[in-house]
Amino acid sequence: MSPLIFPEWTNKLRGLLGPALLLGPVYLVVLFAYGASPETTDVGYQPTQPIPFSHAQHAGQLKLDCRYCHNSVEREEHAAVPPAATCLNCHATIKKDSEKLATLRDSVASGQPIPWRRVHDLPDYVYFNHAAHLDAGVGCVSCHDRVDQMDVVYQAQALSMGWCLDCHRNPEKHLRPKDRITDMAWKPEEDQESLGRRLRETQGINPSQDCSTCHR
């Protein structure tokens, strides 16, 4: 029986094997570092909006509850973006002729929605339910940080799979009374870990870590 003979072109692979073994680990390290970087996770992403809406003024100084504008957040998966009609509840009389509100007036006149730019945008293969998290007592500030102090909202957290899993494994540090979920400045009177453990036990909170929970 004649020995197995490989095609002649396979001889070239020997010259590539050494560089591949050397550069392969370097490539994996660079790939991982880039994948975990703020540029990739969008931490700090702060798009310019069509109307210069200041959360620091509305949610901070004026104390508007998050649910006034994002009125579906306790009932549905998504936190609704307010229509122009919601804005007009105030701005029909307050600074109604301001140049900064020209886009709002155009939206009302044309019937076209204001083209707000999404700040927190999870990949399409990730399922996230706002209502489920608020119902468990996770405050807005846990994911969105102190938006009541932001003139222009930016993404403060990585929102990566590891970041989400850390919360699912240790939810105690994020749990609070349900009547405080939108209170950005709220601080517990007792130790947060103790409060979180008590709320988790009394409310039977046991976040799933199964892949199908978020990847459906």
Q: Which two tokens stand for residue 99?
A: 């140049």
pTM: 0.79
Decide if 152 contacts 46 (C-beta within 8 A): yes
- Residue 32 in this model has a pLDDT that exceeds 70: no
Decide if 155 contacts 44 (C-beta within 8 A): yes
**pLDDT tens for each residue of 51-100:** 999 999 999 999 999 999 999 999 999 999 999 999 999 999 999 999 99
Q: What's residue 27's pLDDT?
A: 76
Cα-Cα end-to-end distance for the chain = 54
Q: What's residue 20's pLDDT?
A: 76
**pLDDT tens for each residue of 38-55:** 555 789 999 999 999 999
Average pLDDT over residues 134-146: 97
CA distance 130 to 75: 8
Q: Bridge-partner residues for 138, per DSSP? A: 175
Task: Express as a percent the part of the chain with pLDDT over 70.
Answer: 91
